Structures are given as structure tokens and as C-alpha cells.
A and B are shown apart, each in its own frame.
Chain A
């Protein structure tokens, strides 16, 4: 029940961030109403700095004023704080949970950094190398999909789960990178499971309202690059 004069759930974030998207998808899956506090791009709010003094980064979930930081920790918190709502994000079986946690960590520890390396790569050689790393990582996830989905449409089985959220949040930016680099990362022939999963994920009720269109992301990236001549205050 919402407290009088305030909403008990707030999310500090920014619309282009894939990490913020993870939190939004989790909240949507559980049907939790929340207030979205959009951060300004030029400077971090007092609330953010106070709520996440260690990393000073979005997303931060505020539940009854208490902050929860780190996107996948927020996802797990949402799953545990609203256990009866919607559907479980993590499976019940301990081994299945371990698999989901492993692959979500893989996305953050290996796949995302190789994606970052790609965007920073200056030479053609470096770009090819970095793109190769990303594709190798996605191939492992293609195999993992086969195991985790048990023949259903998502890593979580018949509905979006933990790994879907961890990986799916990047699909918008992936499309932007595919356009600018000319490299097809999720090739239908080489990664048929992921290709079909990607469409399913983006079309999901809990996702489509909050996942920004690639064109909008591309525009945001262009503006960012243009103003990067004067570095933003961090």
C-alpha cells in the first residue's frame, strides 16, 4: 500500500542505461508500481550520491527509503521482496539458481567488458579482435540457452527469468552497435536460439514499454559523442 504523500518504491536511473532497464523489467514482471527518478546526464543528484556512496552509479532502488544498489542485486531483491507477485525470476531449485547466477555473472564479468572494449577500439585490428570476443561470448550463451530454457522460449523457461534480464537489457545497444560496426552479432544462422529469443524478449509486455528504440539510443550516443569534447562532470 503506498504511503500517503509518497510512493514506497522509487528507482533512480536514466532511460538509456541497460543496467537501469534490468531493474525496470524486474519491477514490471512483478507488477510493482514505482516512481522513476530520471538522473540528469551532466551531474549526479544528491539523492544518488547519498544512496550509493560507494559506486555513485545508477540504478538504485529505494524501498521505504532504503537503498539497494547493483542491477542484478536489485533484480534478486525484487524477486525476494515480492515473492507472491507475478512469477519467480529465479527458479526454485538450488542447482538451476546456481546456473542462472553463473550465466548472469558471465554476462557482467566477460561479455559486457568485451562489448565495452569493442566500443573503445581505435584500430581496425582491435575492432575485429574485440568483435570476435563478443561473438565467442554470445556463442557460449547460445549453448547455455539450450540447457536453461528446456525447450521453452526464455532462459527462464516459459517466461523471462534472471539470465534473460541480465542479457536482454543490452539488445537495444547491440542493435546500435550492429548498425555502426556492420557486424551481425546475433546471426540467425549461427545463433538461431538467441536470434529468436531476442525478438521474443523485446516484444514481452514487461520489456517493450521500457526498452528504448535503437534509433533513440543511437541519437543519444551521437549527442554524447559531440559533447564529449568537454568531458561531463562525473
Chain B
């Protein structure tokens, strides 16, 4: 496989699903790259330089240029290194792939995020939203655009698998941390089967962090969020406890 004429460097964060998307694509293309870990909260000067508009990971640096926004990066990778394409060739197939990528980032991901950051009635509504969104994907896998396929991309992982798959691991993590049912195999059998198959792929196993690390990370953030929202009452409790 051809290696890049110029070196490839990825600025990313280890727990960021958009970073994983890019890492996975580079691995699937057999491309060597340098990786620089970025702190989500404190972007480095390099990140500020290469992504001045959004100041976020991931940022791909190649031949003195920077490319940002994960789906833009994935298409850049596919169009620059054309072996093992991750986008289909047919224009209609391409439009369908782009549509569901848009759906993932526009509808599914925010709903999943909301499950994590909310509680009570708000969380219940967010869980319902996730189910509604998964139903739509389940339908497409079972009877629609992706009927009969092993992966969204066909026999091999494609761009939509990468976009959906790198992020779907949060479903299992949030199920455990939040004690909610998100991706029940009885309600979403085809989606569930696709996700298990995706996560078994060698390149995917090398990209997605171990579930223990993700669980610990998620628990930590949830704890922090809860303590921030309880901070006014907790100081009273602490005072009461220390005086007891």
C-alpha cells in the first residue's frame, strides 16, 4: 500500500468518537500517521492554529494543510488515498450514505448526549428520542436502503459504518452508567447485530478504547455534572456533617 508522500498527523482526544472515526479510516486505508493527544478543555497552540474556527479535535494535518470536521476529514482521506474506498461509487448510494451520516450527527448523537447530561423527565424524553432514532436505522437495515447487508457499506466497513460505529459504543456505556435501556437486542436486533460485528473487526478493536476506560471516564464526568448541579446544597450538607 502506498504510504503518504507527506507525513500525516492527527490531533485528537482518546475518548472522542470523532477522533476515533478518523483513526479508524486511516487504519482501514493502511496509512501510517503520527498522533498527538489533545486536552479537550485546554486546546494546544497547534490545535488553535489548525482549527481556529471551532478549536476542537479532530484535526488532520497533511502536507502543510489542516482538515477539520470528522465527516469532511473522512471524505478527504477517501479522495486522497483511493485504494479500499469507504464511499460507494454510485451517486445515489453516496447521497444515501451522506444522509444517514447527517442523521447520525444531527439527531442520534445529540439525543444520546442528552441522555447522559439530563435526569428525571428530561432523561426519559431523551431515551425515547434515542429509541425513535434507532427504530429508523433498524428499519433501513431490515427493509430499506441497507437491507441484506452485513455492514452499511456492504461486505466491508464503509464511511457510514465508521460514523455510526464510532460513537455507538457510548450506548452500552451510558446504559450501564445511567441505568437506562438504550440498545435492547430484542427491539433492535439488526442494529445490535451490526454493532457487534463492527466492534469485532480488527481495526475497530485497535481504535476504540477498552470499555472499562470508557465506563470510568463516563462515570467521572457524570459525577462531576451531578456535583456541579448539587453544589449549592452540598455545602450545607458538608457543614451539617462536620458539625455532627
Residues on A facing B (Cβ under 8 Å): 54, 63, 66, 68-70, 73-74, 76-77, 80-81, 94-95, 97-98, 101-102, 105-106, 140
Contacts and interface: CB of A to CB of B under 8 A. Distances in A.
Contacts of B65: 95
A184 to B, nearest CB: 24
Nearest to A100: B72
B67 A63 contact: no
B103 A54 contact: yes
Contacts of A94: 76, 79-80
B75 A97 contact: yes
A8 to B, nearest CB: 13
Interface in B96-112: 98-99, 102-103, 107
B72 A73 contact: no
B91 interface: yes
B102 A70 contact: yes
- Sorted nearest first, the 7 A-B pairs with minimum C-beta distance are A80-B91, A94-B79, A77-B95, A98-B76, A81-B91, A68-B95, A94-B80
Interface in B34-92: 53, 65, 67-69, 72-73, 75-76, 79-80, 91-92
8 contacts: A54-B107, A70-B98, A73-B98, A77-B95, A80-B94, A95-B65, A101-B69, A105-B69
A77 B92 contact: yes
- Chain A binding site: helix, strand, loop or mixed by DSSP? helix
Given A81-B92, A101-B75, A102-B68, 11 more contacts: A70-B99, A73-B95, A76-B95, A77-B92, A80-B94, A94-B76, A95-B67, A98-B67, A98-B72, A98-B76, A102-B67
B92 A95 contact: no
Contacts of A68: 92, 95, 99
Interface residues on B, range: 20 to 34
Contacts of A76: 94-95, 98
A94 B107 CA distance: 28
B15 to A, nearest CB: 22
Given A63-B92, A77-B95, A80-B94, A98 B73 contact: yes
Contacts of B95: 68, 73-74, 76-77
A83 to B, nearest CB: 9
B177 interface: no
A32 to B, nearest CB: 13
Contacts of B92: 63, 66, 68, 77, 81
B193 interface: no
Nearest to B77: A94
A232 B65 CA distance: 48
B226 interface: no
A76 B97 CA distance: 12
Tell which of B95, B103, B107 has the most Cβ of chain A within 10 Å.
B95
B211 interface: no
B136 interface: yes
A66 B94 CA distance: 13
B94 A54 contact: no
Contacts of A101: 69, 72, 75
B101 to A, nearest CB: 9
